[in-house]
Chains A and B, each alone.
Chain A
Amino acid sequence: MAVAELTSRGDVTIKNLSKSYSINGRHLNVLQGVSNHIRAGESLAIVGASGSGKTTLLRVLAGLEDADRGEVLIDGQAVHGVGKDRAVIFQEPRLLPWLTVLDNVAFPLENRGLKKAEARARARHYVQLVGLGEFTEALPSQLSGGMAQRVGIARALAVKPEILLLDEPFGALDAMTKITMQEELARIWREEKVTMILVTHDLEEAVYLADRVLILGKEKGGRTREIDVDLPRPRNRSEAGFVKLREQLLNEFGLH
């Protein structure tokens, strides 16, 4: 009973979202009537060519931007603005350079009214979870790109969000670090049981991490398509089913 209650949190409904920008007098439709439903605890990857509005969609979900039309419901409630049910992992680590690793992770917790000692204790747990237990007192400038991004992940997890929003989180990392981080994220996602919405341009990453891949179309009236990733976890990048799905995704973009 309690388990059912827990897993029912973090359910996201996207209803007919539209948004357009005006750039130098040119009208640009970025999102055109996007609808979707993400079950609590599900992992959804959003892919699309650049300009397909995938980052805009994520920013609307995060509450950083408003849509022109349509709405986002979380557990049945319409959302406006940022909220503590959601945490964002940005493409850049976005750490405060004057705070230590530990204080960076504790920052959101203090904002949400936790006492300093309590916030630091919880932050310490999550810094250890991402494997940086020895670097709690380091400054961001002393970390490598991969380490800094781990701190960003720890910061997002420490607020215990229902929904984790990731905006091309490993786009700036080298190939080796990227794979390690994806494996770690997959492990953490299983352990923390959060809903995960991941924007990426890396199709392999999408297949590796997601239960379902949403493809945003670019061209006017471009339809959104979906592909289910029905593969056992932990996933194996060289296994036949994996390779086939990645090919199928490539074909969606007219690539081989």
Chain B
Amino acid sequence: MTLETEQQALPGFGQIPFWQSRPVREAAAIVRGFLSRYALLIAFAVLWQISPSLGWTNAAVLPPLNTILVALWNGVTVGTFSGDILISLRRAGLAFGAAVSLGIPLGLFMGQVRFIERSLDPILQLFRQTSALALYPVFILLLGLGETSKVFVIFWATLFPILLATIGGVKQVDPKLIEMARVYGAKRLTVFRRVVLPAALPQIFVGLRLSATTSLLLLIAAEMIGANSGIGFQVMNAQYNFQIPLMFAAILLLALLGLSANFILETLQARLCRWSKVKD
């Protein structure tokens, strides 16, 4: 009894210690959130950085991260990287833009007209299952070794994901919603604009992200096979010349390009499809 009263009399008794105070707890929560998401990535980078100096890997084949970052910096500031990025972006962008502006309208149309979808589906499946890279020599024969065949092979591979996703999106629109719209006076165009299109939008975005990934994939392949500029060419060229840090720098650049394309599309999707959960 006396002990308790003595304790209560002590100054600071019952006060929350500083490590349990609100700002500290909040900061800790943020750090925890960051670590749970990025700890493995950081560990990977650290491992990459230190394993050559520990003798686990050969620095000539797997150069440490700082060498790669320096090579990347030099490539962009002194070297030809900025030009290569522009050229690659132009190729992929043209192809992606063409695929999207053909694929989405065509998909919206095909998804709504059962007969056309039915009759076009087998040939679409055949084209889709034929690797675009296998067709690249054909495109070169037809279109020459210049820019056109490169852009076209990327376009070809990029078209199918967005086209098929759009068709799928339109086909899975709930017919009950369309019926509701009709009962409540919506004409054909209104049904399309206010029911079919928004309902198909999340699927269309799935297609867009798939297509963006595909366009970068094909870009690199096309640039490795027959080009004298572009990031894909730089990867190949650096390897031929045994400029390994430069090669990794180009690869890193590609990864960053893919990440930013995905980020842009994700942000756009989150804005346009607020009502549906954005899923990865």
The reply to whether A88 and B198 contact each other, CB–CB distance below 8 Å, is: no
Docked-complex contact A64 and B185, CB < 8 angstroms: no
Contact with A along B259-280 (1 / 0, CB 8 A): 0000000000000011110000
Nearest CB of chain B from residue A126's CB, rounded to whole Å = 13
**Given A98-B198, A107-B194, A141-B275, are A92 and B184 also a contact pair (CB < 8 Å)?**
no
- B194, A90: Cβ atoms closer than 8 Å: no
A108 / chain B contacts, CB cutoff of 8 Å: 184-185
Q: List 7 A-B contacts (CB under 8 A).
A: A64-B182, A94-B177, A98-B274, A107-B186, A111-B184, A141-B275, A159-B185
In the complex, besides A87-B183, A88-B180, A111-B190, 13 extra interface pairs with C-beta distance below 8 angstroms are A82-B183, A82-B185, A84-B185, A86-B183, A92-B176, A96-B194, A97-B276, A98-B198, A98-B275, A98-B276, A108-B184, A139-B275, A141-B275
Q: Say yes or no for A45: interface residue by CB 8 A criterion.
A: no
Q: State the Cβ distance, B68 to closest chain A Cβ, in Å.
A: 45
Smallest CB gap from A86: residue in B: B183
- Taking a contact as CB atoms under 8 Å apart, the answer to whether B183 and A88 are in contact is yes
Instruction: Give residues in A with beta carbon < 8 Å to B.
Output: 62-64, 82, 84, 86-88, 90, 92, 94, 96-98, 107-108, 111-112, 139, 141, 155, 159
Are A96 and B198 in contact, CB atoms less than 8 angstroms apart? yes
User: What's the nearest-Cβ distance from chain A to residue B125, in Å?
Assistant: 29
Tell whether A155 pairs with B184 under 8 Å between CB atoms, given A96-B194, A98-B198. yes
Docked complex Cα distance between A82 and B178 (Å): 13
> Which residue of A82, A87, A96 is within 8 Å of B177 (Cβ)?
A96
Within the complex, what minimum Cβ distance (angstroms) separates A57 from chain B?
16
We find that the number of chain B residues with CB closer than 8 angstroms to chain A is: 20
Q: Which of A97, A98, A141, A159 contacts B184 (CB 8 A)?
A: A159
CA distance A139 to B186 in the complex (A): 21
Q: What's the Cα separation between A87 and B184 when bound, in Å? A: 7
* Min CB gap A58→B, angstroms: 11
What's the least CB distance linking B274 to chain A, in Å?
A: 8
With A96-B195, A97-B275, A98-B275 as known contacts, state yes or no: A64 contacts B177, CB within 8 Å.
no
Task: List B residues 187-223 near A (Cβ within 8 Å).
Answer: 187, 190, 194-195, 198-199
Known: A92-B176, A94-B177, A98-B275. A111 touches B185 (CB 8 A): yes
A137 to B273, CA, bound (A): 16
Complex Cα gap A92–B199 (Å): 17
- A-side interface mostly: loop
- Of chain B, the residue at the smallest CB distance from A97 is B275
Residue B179 is within 8 A (CB to CB) of chain A in the complex: yes
CA distance A36 to B273 in the complex (A): 47
Distance in angstroms between the alpha carbons of A111 and B190 in the assembled complex: 8
Top 7 closest pairs, chain A to chain B, by CB: A108-B184, A111-B185, A94-B180, A98-B275, A98-B198, A111-B186, A88-B183
Taking CB atoms, residues of chain B closer than 8 Å to A111 are 181, 184-187, 190
- CA separation between A62 and B183, bound complex, in Å? 8
Interface centre among B184, B195, B276 (most CB of A within 10 A): B184
Which A residues touch B186, using CB under 8 A? Answer: 107, 111
List B contacts of A92 (CB < 8 A). 176
Question: Measured between C-beta atoms, what is the minimum distance from A184 to chain B in Å?
Answer: 21
Which of B176, B179, B187, B195: most chain A Cβ within 10 A? B179
CA A139 – CA B276 in complex, angstroms? 10
A82 to B192, CA, bound (A): 18
Chain B residues with CB under 8 Å of A64's CB are 179, 182-183
Question: Which of B176, B186, B273, B275 has the most chain A CB within a 10 Å cutoff?
Answer: B275
CA distance A171 to B181 in the complex (A): 22
CB neighbours (8 Å) of A87 from chain B are 183-184
With a cutoff of 8 Å between Cβ atoms, the chain A residues found around residue B183 in the complex are 62-64, 82, 86-88
Q: How far is the CA of A141 from the CA of B274 in the complex (A)?
A: 11
Q: From known contacts A87-B184, A111-B190, A112-B185, infer whether A94 and B195 are also in contact, taking CB-CB under 8 Å.
A: no
Taking the closest CB of chain A, its distance from the CB of B101, in whole angstroms, is 24
| Chain B residue nearest to A152 in the complex (CB) | B180
Docked Cα-Cα span, A64 to B182, in Å, equals 9
> In the complex, are the beta carbons of A90 and B176 less than 8 A apart?
yes
For the complex, give the distance between the alpha carbons of A234 and B88 in Å: 74
Q: How far is the CB of A82 from chain B (nearest CB, A)?
A: 5
Minimum CB–CB distance for A187 against chain B, Å: 23
Q: Provide the residues of chain B in CB contact with A82, threshold 8 Å.
A: 182-183, 185
**Closest Cβ–Cβ distance, residue B189 to chain A (whole Å):** 11
Q: A90 and B184 in contact (CB under 8 A), knowing A107-B194, A141-B275?
A: no
Contacts of B199 on A, CB cut-off 8 Å?
A: 98
Closest to B277 in A: A141
B180 neighbours in A (Cβ, 8 Å): 88, 90, 94
Given contacts A64-B182, A107-B184, A111-B185, contact A94 B176 (CB under 8 A): yes
